Structure 1
């Protein structure tokens, strides 16, 4: 989804000992949220002992969160726990992320050991380009803020959504359908000849009215003609941003501003909610397991959760200590593991995880044409994804930044092995 709020408040502020604050929408604040606040207060008070204790408790509630890993290493260093600080920092550097660790005074006490130089070398490696993609096609018009892409095997057409213009275009640039608000997620149901699309108010939308803020819905278009077949209003305010489809026609949608995971059963006219309020601060693209018994939900903050659809039990997946799971925008199940578009990390990247989340391979990062990728679609053994979407050219109010050039986005593809 368009994470304009998070892009400006959480992910890009990757400073030393800087914890983001989130407020629960429910009466009872979830433990992870309360701990986030406590950690922020400990940072402000420079109470590193309290910060360390809080982060240790927070870590399993946000598994794979690089901010927690980094700040835990910093708190250990500030407390004089050299070995613990270096071990935690090694885990963070193994995530493949970048930051000016050498210039961070929180680690002044651990700069001398050779292990610290090894960590800096690992960070330097993470700045290098990894190029595994090739151009597929250019998006004809600049500055449309493309968000998602879908594919119809019967007509052999790609479809691209536009946040800026509130429309859907085909891969060759032709108009397919319009909406009154921004268009975000797309999924093609070839069997039922339906193109599903989420739509809602976003400040970046050129045509949206301010009075429509927090209004959002799911649209069903005829996949052959573009005619609107169905409109389903969201039962929660915010922005229906991402989705996936089940083989039986069920539609799973996430609302990423306030946090909700919804299901529209095949033939239904209303959504049902699958999660408890406060569980997900910012859920993104859900993905079904091969047997469709589990819905994997990447949360931009907390990591990846598995919702067991039989009883709706939520289980947060625990990765290896050197695997980062926050900042995932698009998630896809493939080849016994996961494929992810991770644009909330620095650097942004396309990455594959093993099914047990103990292994990771970066497929694309730090390349000139990547920019900020958003979502993709698997066609056969190739992954087509939107590159250089252009979100960085806009401020938090949805206005083009002064001096920002027009952005030409593209679709790139990566050949996947099993």
Structure 2
């Protein structure tokens, strides 16, 4: 989650408002990631190192991060392994101890640690994606993107080539990874050749300021929080460009970060709580709100 630059989108937004489906208890002051298997929704509570599990009509539970792990950020559900992948790190926030590097970990449904991987010193993962058995993790501090290969993380984009890699999504044919780089824009990576290509909008400009990213069919949905208020965007790749539309802008997307699909709708962390977490003397304002929107 990064705030850098401003991009004003002169596009038409939908008038339909997102529906609130869950509000985290007030003590969870910073909610970042979201993942779902279509029934259970998992949310990462960053500061208290907890993952919240919500299932409508079934009650809520909490998973404490295993001993020796760091703060949970991005989440992704891996339906092949039945694991929840968690990007863990030490975000630059008051009260969070600094660390040399983070790790990508996997938990089973009960919270047992199943895997822990690192790309080496200086690895600071923030977002993770899983699809068809493939797992990808991005580093927002140096722009690197890695692919899971057995028990190792292989670089698809080496550190320093891009700027700030955020969410990613596998293309429909499984041959490309689409990456939202906060500072450089949307890029596609050929998974065979590892060639990276930036995809501008029709006017030739990059779409900067994107955070979370998910694919639904041929459409890619992304959170834009490079300007205030935040927006939910949809884009399609047409040749070497992206065609972008605004699905929703403004309330309740006060501080949106990540999103996931449950097969019927989008689930969006609408008000994560980063401003309040950065200034702990300020009370949270409805942080931890999860909203849903139908596909458009």
TM score, norm. by length of structure 1: 0.64
Question: What CA distance in whole angstroms lies between the structure 1 residues aligned with 2:294 and 2:196?
Answer: 33
For residues 308-323 of structure 1, what are the structure 2 equivalents within 5 Å? 308-321=190-203
Question: What CA distance in whole angstroms lies between the structure 1 residues aligned with 2:178 and 2:162?
Answer: 12
Question: What CA distance in whole angstroms lies between the structure 2 residues aligned with 1:322 and 1:347?
Answer: 24
1:244 counterpart residue number: 129
1:278 deviation in Å?
A: 2.3
Question: What CA distance in whole angstroms lies between the structure 1 residues aligned with 2:262 and 2:246?
Answer: 20
Question: 1:163–1:383: structure 2 CA closer, same or farther, 3 Å change rule?
Answer: same
Answer yes or no: is 1:209 the counterpart of 2:97: yes
Counterpart pick for 2:228 among 331, 337, 346 = 346
2:79 counterpart residue number: 190
| Aligned residue-pair number | 288
For residues 253-292 of structure 1, what are the structure 2 equivalents within 5 Å? 253-265=137-149, 268-292=150-174
Per mean C-alpha deviation after superposition, the further-off stretch among 319-328 and 307-316 is 319-328
Answer yes or no: is 1:96 the counterpart of 2:13: no
Question: What CA distance in whole angstroms lies between the structure 2 residues aligned with 1:228 and 1:403?
Answer: 34
1:358 deviation in Å?
A: 5.2
Question: What CA distance in whole angstroms lies between the structure 2 residues aligned with 1:352 and 1:406?
Answer: 28
2:265 counterpart residue number: 382
Answer whether contact 2:14 2:246 (CA < 8 A) is retained. no
| Higher relative helix content | 1
Q: Deviations over 1:30-54 (max 9, x none)?
A: xxxxxxxxxxxxxxxxxxxxxxxxx
Question: What CA distance in whole angstroms lies between the structure 2 residues aligned with 1:165 and 1:263?
Answer: 28
Question: What CA distance in whole angstroms lies between the structure 2 residues aligned with 1:294 and 1:404?
Answer: 43
1:173 deviation in Å?
A: 4.1
Question: What CA distance in whole angstroms lies between the structure 1 residues aligned with 2:274 and 2:178?
Answer: 26
Answer yes or no: is 1:330 the counterpart of 2:212: yes
Structure 1's consecutive aligned runs of 4 or more residues displaced over 3 angstroms after TM superposition are: 128-132, 402-408
Counterpart pick for 1:411 among 255, 268, 290 = 290
| Higher relative strand content | 2
- SS of the counterpart of 1:243? strand
Question: 1:138–1:392: structure 2 CA closer, same or farther, 3 Å change rule?
Answer: same
Answer whether contact 1:129 1:366 (CA < 8 A) is retained. no
Question: 1:96–1:390: structure 2 CA closer, same or farther, 3 Å change rule?
Answer: farther
1:159 counterpart residue number: 42
Question: 1:407–1:238: structure 2 CA closer, same or farther, 3 Å change rule?
Answer: farther
RMSD: 2.3
For residues 1-400 of structure 1, what are the structure 2 equivalents within 5 Å? 2-3=1-2, 7=3, 10-11=4-5, 14=6, 66=7, 95-96=9-10, 130-153=15-38, 156-171=39-54, 172-179=59-66, 180-204=69-93, 206=95, 208-210=96-98, 213-223=99-109, 225-247=110-132, 249-265=133-149, 268-321=150-203, 325-356=207-238, 357=241, 359-367=243-251, 369-395=252-278, 399-400=279-280
Per mean C-alpha deviation after superposition, the further-off stretch among 191-200 and 174-183 is 174-183
1:131 deviation in Å?
A: 3.9
Answer whether contact 2:143 2:181 (CA < 8 A) is retained. no
Answer whether contact 1:219 1:231 (CA < 8 A) is retained. yes
Question: What CA distance in whole angstroms lies between the structure 1 residues aligned with 2:75 and 2:16?
Answer: 26
Question: 1:311–1:242: structure 2 CA closer, same or farther, 3 Å change rule?
Answer: same
Answer whether contact 2:257 2:269 (CA < 8 A) is retained. yes
Question: What CA distance in whole angstroms lies between the structure 2 residues aligned with 1:236 and 1:292?
Answer: 30
Question: 1:238–1:271: structure 2 CA closer, same or farther, 3 Å change rule?
Answer: closer
5+ residue gaps in structure 2?
none
Question: What CA distance in whole angstroms lies between the structure 1 residues aligned with 2:78 and 2:204?
Answer: 37
- SS of the counterpart of 2:157? coil
Answer whether contact 2:103 2:123 (CA < 8 A) is retained. no
